[in-house]
Amino acid sequence: MSTIHVNRREVVKALAVMPLARLGRADPDLVLHNGRFYTVNPAQPEASAVAIRDGRLLAIGSNRDMLALAGRRTQRVDLGGRRVFPGFNDAHAHPGESGLQQLMMVACDQTSIDAILALLRQRASVTPPGHWVRGFLYDDAKTPRPLTRADLDSAVPAHPVIVTHRGGHTGFANSLALAAIGATRATPDPPGGHFDRDANGDLNGRVADAVLEAMEAKIPDEATRDDHRRGVELISKLYASRGITSSCEADATPADLQAYQDARDAGVLRYRTYCLMDVNSLDRYIAAGVHTGFGDAMVRIGAIKQFADGSISERTAWLAEPYIGLGDFTGIESGTRESLYENSRKAWKAGFQLATHANGERAIERMLGIYEQLQREAPRRDPRFRLEHCTVVTPQLVARMKALKVIPVPFSGYVNFHGDVLHYYGDERAQRMFAYRSFIDAGLRPPASSDYTASPPAPMLWLYSETTRKDPTGHVWGENQRITLAEALRSMTLNGAYATFEEHDKGSLEVGKWADLAVMAADPFTRSVEEWQSITVERTMLGGQWVYES
């Protein structure tokens, strides 16, 4: 019997052409060529072209090889040398809710108090007597001083008014709104809530967390099912224009879930959503027999969402040490250890992933203890516990996260966008905030997130903030937490997919994955860092279809 000698190089060459030969049996629907594809796949980091069939990536490689796959019916698109990334993933945001707010509330993202009051006064003029006037997107760090009760009383004396901070944890109320919840000078802070007071001890109109929730519960819900769908449609257009093809809806109610399904069925949903479901409806989900993973490629049920503390931008996160300049205030504790554990246990046993809002060290420590307990009591092979925001950490907390393989979900753009409040935390604490470097060095997989409306859903802002740690004045907060451009891109793509158990379907440009991608007008790899935030998206593709073209 004769022996055939084949060297290693010949074997490799043969294997390399085999997929192309197989794929040639069915023509691709589309070939994108003459691009610069950054794949987020270490085995094939760059490519010039891709072939797409049935919404998925059929092949990835050189212009010559991909064009050779094209048949008579294959569409060919020359990208003109543009940089292409996998579609971006906003791993924690409130897009559906924000869309509804844009339809029904006054946008107060102004830098002038007078301008905000004028907008509220105008809305009040067309609002029936006794009905609420509501504002959103306000940021008290971006006006010369915060809004006050007196401001709102002077502008809108005949309607209850509540203007919520863009972070969603605090609001600014007039006297009629405070009266609606029976709040007076003598009213104490409730558990999980806070009233701000002036120098005389009177309520100044700023309310936080549980107090804001009580106030919002007094407002009649006039939104229709179609309003919810229209809100999703509105934000879909915004996301598509930013190259965002996936997002987590971070506190979804049953109405939000219905809105996503309606938008999908109407053909107006332009990003894939993973819904972190509001814990208040947990019993309904359990009774229906649904849990994490139910759904399809566009709308999927994710984790159960809870809150363990307050906000970073609004200075209510539950810290280990007091805020700078706010006396002995250390933030707001949301829920009790017992309630957080019981809800977590119930959801865990029902098959849900767990996702808990925890910003400060105390909140993070509490939730790590609960997650560790659950993993001892009812271990899972791959739990992927999520800590939403996970902002202020210590080496000890990171070590515990590493042992449990927790997914921290930090704010990506906060150092830059909310740099105007970081003085409340200080330079030392900033070295332990939004700790991408510490998380990555510990082997964790932090995704990127905007928490929109808390900060803009702007991937180029995320890149800039994660890699430079600069605020708008140029001050660097926590230089030790800087990461590389490649690491930041991974956070914005593949790590987001991993956080939702979908890394085999999206997050990188690899054969078999969805053809979700963003074609950029310029390349951050070749532009200076200070130019990044001006880079726009030219085209966005979702499942092989263009959903945005500039």
Sign of the alpha-carbon dihedral angle for 179, 184, 189, 191: negative
What residues form DSSP beta bridges with 37?
47, 84
3-state class of 349 per DSSP?
helix
pLDDT digits 0-9 by tens, 140-187: 999 999 999 999 999 999 999 999 999 999 999 999 999 999 999 999
Nearest-CA neighbor of 96 among 290, 314, 251, 281?
Answer: 251
Q: Is the pLDDT of residue 5 over 90?
A: no
pLDDT averaged over the chain?
Answer: 95
Banded model confidence at residue 3, pLDDT cuts 50, 70, 90: very low
DSSP 365-382: HHHHHHHHHHHHHS--SS
80 burial type by CB count under 10 A (0-12 exposed, 13-18 middle, 19+ buried) = exposed
Sign of the alpha-carbon dihedral angle for 356, 360, 363, 364: positive
pLDDT digits 0-9 by tens, 467-523: 999 999 999 999 999 999 999 999 999 999 999 999 999 999 999 999 999 999 999
Q: Is the pLDDT of residue 20 over 70?
A: no
Sign of the alpha-carbon dihedral angle for 51, 263, 290, 254: positive
Banded model confidence at residue 26, pLDDT cuts 50, 70, 90: confident
Nearest-CA neighbor of 495 among 410, 401, 415, 431?
Answer: 410
Token pair belonging to 384:
């992927």
3-state class of 101 per DSSP?
helix
Quick one: pLDDT at residue 316?
97
Please state the length of the chain. Answer: 550
Nearest-CA neighbor of 316 among 465, 186, 167, 161?
Answer: 167
Q: Is the pLDDT of residue 12 over 60?
A: no
Cα(294)–Cα(273) distance, rounded to whole angstroms? 12
Cα(177)–Cα(149) distance, rounded to whole angstroms? 10
**Which whole number is the average pLDDT over 407-427?**
97
Q: Is the pLDDT of residue 315 over 50?
A: yes
429 burial type by CB count under 10 A (0-12 exposed, 13-18 middle, 19+ buried) = buried
Token pair belonging to 172:
């600014």
Quick one: pLDDT at residue 305?
98
Structure letter (DSSP) for residue 490: H
Quick one: pLDDT at residue 22?
41
Token pair belonging to 275:
């819904």
Cα(434)–Cα(398) distance, rounded to whole angstroms? 12
376 burial type by CB count under 10 A (0-12 exposed, 13-18 middle, 19+ buried) = exposed
DSSP 291-348: -TT-B-SSEEEEEEEEESB--TTTT-S--SSPPTTSTT----B-S-HHHHHHHHHHHH
Banded model confidence at residue 225, pLDDT cuts 50, 70, 90: very high
Cα(188)–Cα(309) distance, rounded to whole angstroms? 19
What structural domains and CATH numbers belong to the chain?
A: 8-81 (2.30.40.10), 95-216 (3.10.310.70), 226-504 (3.20.20.140)
3-state class of 107 per DSSP?
strand
End-to-end CA distance of the chain: 65
Q: Is the pLDDT of residue 383 over 80?
A: yes
Token pair belonging to 79:
């990208």
Q: Is the pLDDT of residue 386 over 80?
A: yes
Cα 227 to the center of its chain, rounded Å: 22
* Half-sphere exposure for 28 (CA within 13 Å, toward CB): 31
Helix (H) or strand (E) run with residue 416 in it:
helix 414-417
Q: Are 226 and 192 in contact (CB under 8 A)?
A: no
Strand 386-389, strand 407-409: pairing = parallel
Quick one: pLDDT at residue 25?
59
In Å, how far are 52, 58, 70, 255, 393 from 65, measured between CA atoms? Answer: 13, 12, 9, 47, 48
3-state class of 232 per DSSP?
helix
Residues 6+ apart with CB under 8 A from 495: 89, 91, 445, 446, 447, 448, 507
pLDDT digits 0-9 by tens, 336-345: 999 999 999 9
Quick one: pLDDT at residue 449?
98
Q: Are 286 and 346 in contact (CB under 8 A)?
A: yes
Q: What is the pTM of this model?
A: 0.93
Cα(263)–Cα(489) distance, rounded to whole angstroms? 29
Strand order in the sheet with 46-47: 46-47, 36-38, 83-86, 517-520, 537-542, 545-549
